[in-house]
Copies of this chain bind each other. A is one copy, B any other.
């Protein structure tokens, strides 16, 4: 399984109801999504586990890596491909020790020093944002494309831009050098996630 960060889908059951999640993700993969992150907050551990196990069957059918947000226990329990953690999750160095060297560890970074620290902490890739203002994560700090470019230049890791990215603004990212874009609403919020993914994927070139 290749780690292709080009079009990275982050789920949100606030946008796409839980009962539609598997269908939505499968459609998105068929449309060109290259990586999937399952993000759940208000859910029991059992339900999260069941959902992750079901989603893994789909992602693996298409050889797309499945990353679990925050919950290292769920990641281990379903043997997902990786873990994505932020500042309010367990420390990255602890996570790396517990998941081992063969799993993907993604870290969130909102500025250059956080990105540099994340590399030291053993990240395999960085989610950097919020690139544009976003309704999905209203507390996210808006960083703009210049910081994205600066981080990509300074930190030798795959960089995925996240936050408010959509077909209409993606061209602002050309020249930033990033490795891919992560989207939530632009796919999960679409009536036709497959077409949404096709359209976005067509815009994902060499940034």
- Interface, chain A (partner B; CB < 8 A): 44-47, 49, 70-74, 76-77, 85, 87-91, 94-95, 98
Partner of A49, one of B44, B87, B94: B94
Partner of A89, one of B44, B94, B95: B44
Q: Tell me whether B74 and A45 are in contact (CB under 8 A).
A: no
CA distance A73 to B78 in the complex (A): 13
Number of copies: 2
Q: Tell me whether B49 and A88 are in contact (CB under 8 A).
A: no
What chain B residues lie within 8 Å of A76 (beta carbons)?
A: 72-73, 98
Q: Tell me whether B98 and A46 are in contact (CB under 8 A).
A: no
Partner of A91, one of B46, B89, B90: B46
Partner of A73, one of B87, B88, B90: B90
What chain B residues lie within 8 Å of A89 (beta carbons)?
A: 44-46
CA distance A46 to B45 in the complex (A): 17
